[in-house]
Amino acid sequence: MSYNGWSNRETWLVNLWFNPESIEDLDIIRDTLEEEYNQFEGFWGDMISFHSIDWTNLKQHFQTEEEIEIEFENMLKSIRGE
């Protein structure tokens, strides 16, 4: 089931609250959240299912953006005759 364009609510929440700008950001966010979740599993488990976060879905979002940027740069090079 999708949620606001993301694969589920947990994935949407990560994107909403942390607003990652790169795949590297996602790696840092994942490590930080996993550490916090493991320290306070009962507390966090009542609010969010860490294991339901679709990290692949989040990364695909950036891969798509990166592909668009590359395509745009190639188009500009073509216009400039490079």
Tens-digit pLDDT profile for residues 20-29: 988 899 999 9
Give the C-alpha separation, 10 to 53, whole Å: 5
* Confidence category of residue 13, pLDDT binned at 50, 70, 90: very high
Q: How much is the pTM? A: 0.73
For residues 11-34, give the mean pLDDT. Answer: 95
- Backbone phi and psi for residue 4, each to the nearest 5 degrees, phi listed first: 50, 40
3-state SS, residue 75:
helix
What is the rounded distance in angstroms from the CA atom of residue 72 to the CA atom of residue 17? 29
- DSSP string for 34-51: HHHHHHTHHHHHTT--GG
What angle do helix axes 55-80 and 9-18 make, rounded to 10 degrees?
60
